[in-house]
Amino acid sequence: MKGEHNRVKSWHDAPTKPRFVPPRGAVDAHCHVFGPMAHFPFSAKAKYLPQDAGPEDLFALRDHLGFARNVIVQASCHGTDNRATLDAIARSEGRARGVAVVDPDISGAELAALHEQGVRGIRFNFLKRLVDDTPKDGLLDVASRLPADWHVVVYFEADILADLRPFLAAIPVPLVIDHMGRPDVAQGPDGPDMRAFRSLLDSRGDIWFKASCPDRLDPAGAPWHDFVRSVAPLVADYPDRALWGTDWPHPNMQAAIPDDGALVDVIPYIAPTEALIRRLLVDNPMRLYWPELVGR
């Protein structure tokens, strides 16, 4: 394992305070924790080796940005060892839930234990630069054995969406698509990538998406005009299926680290009414991750 000086840092030390004020109860529905490595070592198969980005830093950012809750998605650098994610959830005083990465042969008892610890979904990652291989057979089996009301988060790039469609159609629980399947937003809202993604959303009523990561999808940089022009129509047309997240600590973004305050300031451009903002940041993520609190 390399030393700390070789481990990459991909997040901003002092993000600006956003001008946009999120509504009460807002959920950052896509973020991660890294380590701390001394307690939770990275996977031997990790494709990047980050500096520690633990729960204290995550929760300080949550408060700084004006959010109330986090959904912590197991990052690929921790493989299927979910302890760092579970530790962060346990430290959140009920204000975080999580998405795990599991071996397909995980037992029902182990899944139930993850549920007890705040996990509400599992993630299938098809990015070759992040994982060696993602054989699909076992995945359908584990997806069919998930606890009630869980979902599957899927991360893929636009160029494999057509090939993935039969597999996605066979997953027997709701789907959440990370970063909208990484469309080329420079194509605009009616370009082939967005059209293909809309076709996926139209194929099932239970596919959600994260309207997230302008920094990954729009290399022109802040204020991410192409992202806004491509994503705002999607949020408007599928208002009950959109989620939003910071993606902190921005794995692999060390060459172009986004300012989290600037990311939050994109929200009113992709969700320009109070009603849309409330669905994007509160109602939708609460239905998926804290359904027992909805309507109370």
Q: Is 178 in the site for ligand 0GY (CB under 6 A)?
A: yes
Q: Is 37 in the site for ligand 0GY (CB under 6 A)?
A: no
Tokens 């491509």 sit on residue: 230
Q: Which stretch binds ligand 0GY (CB under 6 A): 159-167, 198-206, 217-225, 244-252?
A: 244-252
Q: Is 177 in the site for ligand 0GY (CB under 6 A)?
A: no
Among 181, 251, 258, 268, binds ligand 0GY (CB under 6 A): 251
Q: Is 254 in the site for ligand 0GY (CB under 6 A)?
A: no
Q: Rule CB under 6 A: which of 14-33 touch ligand 0GY?
A: 32
Among 76, 82, 85, 246, binds ligand 0GY (CB under 6 A): 76
For β-strands 69-73 and 207-210, DSSP reports them as unpaired
Q: Is 215 in the site for ligand 0GY (CB under 6 A)?
A: no
| Nearest of 206, 208, 181, 214 to residue 195 by alpha carbon | 181
Let me know if 68 is exposed, middle or buried by CB neighbors in 10 A (0-12, 13-18, 19+). Answer: middle
The separation between the first and the last C-alpha atoms of the chain, rounded to the nearest angstrom, is: 48
Beta bridge partners of 151: 121
Q: Which positions from 110 to 149 touch ligand 0GY by CB under 6 A, shown as an x/- string? A: --------------------x-------------------
Instruction: Write down the catalytic residue from 193, 247, 260, 265.
Output: 247
For 2-41, letters b (16+ CB in 10 Å) and e give eeeeebeebbbeebeebeeebeebbbbbbbbbbbbbeebb
Q: Is 247 a catalytic residue?
A: yes
| Nearest of 4, 15, 92 to residue 248 by alpha carbon | 15
**Catalytic residue numbers?**
247
Positions in the binding site for ligand 0GY (CB under 6 A) = 32, 75-77, 130, 155, 178, 247, 251-252
